[in-house]
Amino acid sequence: MLHEPASPQQEDKAAEKKSLLGIKLFFVYAFIYAGFVFIGVTKPSLMGVRVIFGLNLAIVYGFGLIIIAIVMGFLYHLACSKMEDKLNEEEDKS
């Protein structure tokens, strides 16, 4: 029985750019998350303040972190797909 990839594999010419984008997005998210932790450590009473629809800052910030992570994941996917398509198109022209 053969154990080989179901589709042909080729070199990922966008790997370096995708890695750089991933690192940048990681640091953006880490900075936003650090703000959440900083508030929780230095001013925990602030987390209990009602900010919108009767929800406190901790809930709103926490859901915001989740939504931001999902949006960043979609943006990363779109950007990486665009990079791959562009580089593969250039390769096909050569």
What DSSP designation does 1 have? -
Given a contact cutoff of 8 angstroms between Cβ atoms, the answer to whether 14 and 82 are in contact is no
Task: Please name the residues in contact with 17: beta carbons below 8 A apart, sequence gap of 6 or more.
Answer: 83
Pairwise CA distance, residues 68 & 30, whole Å: 11
Backbone angles phi, psi at 50, to 5 degrees: -75, 125
> What pLDDT sits at residue 93?
67
How much is the pTM?
0.77
List the beta bridge partners of residue 86.
none
Domain boundaries, the chain: 17-88
Per-residue confidence (pLDDT) for residue 52, from 0 to 100: 93
What share of the chain in percent tops pLDDT 90?
Answer: 68
